[in-house]
Structure 1
């Protein structure tokens, strides 16, 4: 599969996701002001990398079903919740996200918190309500997502990130932050694809290892883009991590060292794919896509 075929996959399935995601939230029976804040961030766009990776992992084993989109939409709800909360003044205090004012800048901090809370809880409702899925698969997905999003995953990574501001972290401490704050939800997306695709147990171990490596690739690339990226293209201010005194791979290893680390983890990720019994060419091309992205 070529990169052009990957782009065709992204274009096709991103359209399918964009059609299905807002209706889950437009039908909420809740105060209009809350629904408005929720839909503002959901409809702000974005690459939808996590749900697309989930669908790519499924397609390594079988064709995509309608029920798969529901899990993919749940993943994007959790991701969007994390961005809303990450941008808060008490967290990273960002003014722009995806080229638009952040949620709290438009709706205030209280409604931004509530919008994030609503998205997180709705995601679990969506997965638990998929009638087409076997109960054991739903339980497995919910367990994996709760761990990836919770204190041992994304929330713990954010806490470590806050603790590390203004400190000189070691590479091991920085890798802990990256693995959990960014990597765990991305990893869940790929693992969920393996679960839904009913990948063999031996494959699941390689899928987990691949997903962890790809999570680091994604965040190291973010660190590099914070220096080299174009603010307008990324939809947020470049240099924001440096301005907050955060440790990053370029800061600890130099920009050249960070790029070496990026390609090391990308190569590791591709190596794990070689052991899969399915057809992982789409996932392999995602490694290249994430490594070479400009936003």
Structure 2
């Protein structure tokens, strides 16, 4: 569903009010989005919306696709020579390698702004108050207090020694913020009470940390072929991750604890949350 929606949204035909969609820019955007990936964040939007029996699947799907546009924009920019300088993403050439740096920057810029277009558009049918809430939370999750700020901290950490608290804050911003938003967004779309939105946010925070710990573990243990991107780059850049500081066994123990925490958070929802519990286990146990 998400893949189909992304393809539809990134079609060559301009939207109403758009003059034209430059062909090369659109190809670069599609290269950065339609190149595989787990689609974890949109999956979480859809599943948390379903938890609250959201009446309009289309609205949830559009918000899910918008969130994936922001996630993919972040990968396009992270791969640039000025940042992580990667040649491969999901087993394929990164956007700046397949096109050029200028195209990658503009593709990322366009995906970021398009995400807010998608959420705020009339086709995303939900109450105006819910839309404003989503736009505000998404802006904060992706901006200087969230993902972009986390990337800034990550770049500044190269060759330096962060404390455990500083590392946790960096990870909560760079990786956790969008995952937390995904879980909160579904609850907002489903018309959940504030307490339940906060509960789903706590679930998102737990699996967001698990996702990053699993990523750090894979950077130490997995091959580049399995990951579809270079591994061992944290150590090469002098970045001390929690996995490298405490070791593989400690990291795996922490992952088990985070899964248990995530499952406990979802306990009030009973069997309706079984798929989300499975998602928590997937995040912690993934091999790529």
What residue is the counterpart of 2:192 in the other structure?
Answer: 199
Determine the C-alpha separation between the residues in 2 that align with 1:122 and 1:98: 22
In structure 1, which of residues 24, 48, 56 is the aligned counterpart of residue 9 of structure 2?
24
Q: Deviations over 1:188-229 (max 9, x none)?
A: 111101111122222122111111111000000000011112
In structure 1, which of residues 258, 278, 291 is the aligned counterpart of residue 284 of structure 2?
291
Compute the RMSD of aligned alpha carbons.
Answer: 1.4
What residue is the counterpart of 1:209 in the other structure?
Answer: 202
Q: TM-score, normalised by structure 1?
A: 0.91
The answer as to 2:66 corresponding to 1:74 is yes
In structure 2, which of residues 73, 80, 83 is the aligned counterpart of residue 88 of structure 1?
80
Alignment of 1:50-199 (within 5 A): 50-62=41-53, 65-131=57-123, 132-199=125-192
Say whether the 8 Å CA contact 1:96–1:102 is kept in structure 2.
Answer: yes
Q: Deviations over 1:18-39 (max 9, x none)?
A: 1111221223422211111111
Task: Provide the secondary structure at the position in 1 that maps to 2:73.
Answer: helix
Say whether the 8 Å CA contact 2:203–2:266 is kept in structure 1.
Answer: yes
Determine the C-alpha separation between the residues in 2 that align with 1:48 and 1:179: 19
In structure 2, which of residues 236, 260, 268 is the aligned counterpart of residue 267 of structure 1?
260
Alignment of 1:218-229 (within 5 A): 218-229=211-222
Q: TM-score, normalised by structure 2?
A: 0.93
Determine the C-alpha separation between the residues in 2 that align with 1:211 and 1:77: 19
Give 1:92 shift. Answer: 0.7
Alignment of 1:225-244 (within 5 A): 225-244=218-237
In structure 1, which of residues 31, 40, 43 is the aligned counterpart of residue 31 of structure 2?
40
Gap regions ≥5 residues in structure 2 = 15-19
Gap regions ≥5 residues in structure 1 = 1-15
Determine the C-alpha separation between the residues in 2 that align with 1:191 and 1:277: 18
* Paired residues, number: 280
Give 1:265 shift. Answer: 2.0
Q: Deviations over 1:235-287 (max 9, x none)?
A: 11221222211121121111222222222222222221113478211111111
